[in-house]
Amino acid sequence: MTVLTDRMTSLEVGLDDLQSGIEAGSRAATSLRDTAVTLDHMVSAQLKAADLAGSLVHRAENLRACLKDQRAALREMRHNLALLRVEMQALRQR
């Protein structure tokens, strides 16, 4: 009977160890899943940020081109205004 009791005790200890291992594995799997979800959110946010940054760069380039055109138009207007002043002065002197 002692041999049987010892075997039962040994089996119970083995089952307790197995249960502990399964619970630890379950916690590890949950932690791994949570980490993967967090990583997925981070990567998604970075991709969205990269898309936004690309859009911002494109808009900045468009703005720079527009400003360049406006500078050229301003120079032309100043030049034309200077010519007009010269013409007006010439008319006054007549």
User: pLDDT-based confidence at 23, cuts 50/70/90?
Assistant: very high
**Cα 49 to Cα 42: distance, rounded to the nearest angstrom:** 10
- Has residue 80 got a pLDDT over 80? yes
Q: What is the pLDDT of residue 19?
A: 92
Residue type, 12: E
- Has residue 1 got a pLDDT over 80? no
Q: Compute the average pLDDT of residues 30-38.
A: 92
Which stretches does DSSP call E strand in the chain? none
pTM of the prediction? 0.52
> What does the mean pLDDT of the chain come to?
91
Rounded to the nearest 10 degrees, how much is the dihedral formed by the CA atoms of 81, 84, 88, 89?
70
Q: Compute the average pLDDT of residues 62-83.
A: 93
**Cα 81 to Cα 88: distance, rounded to the nearest angstrom:** 10
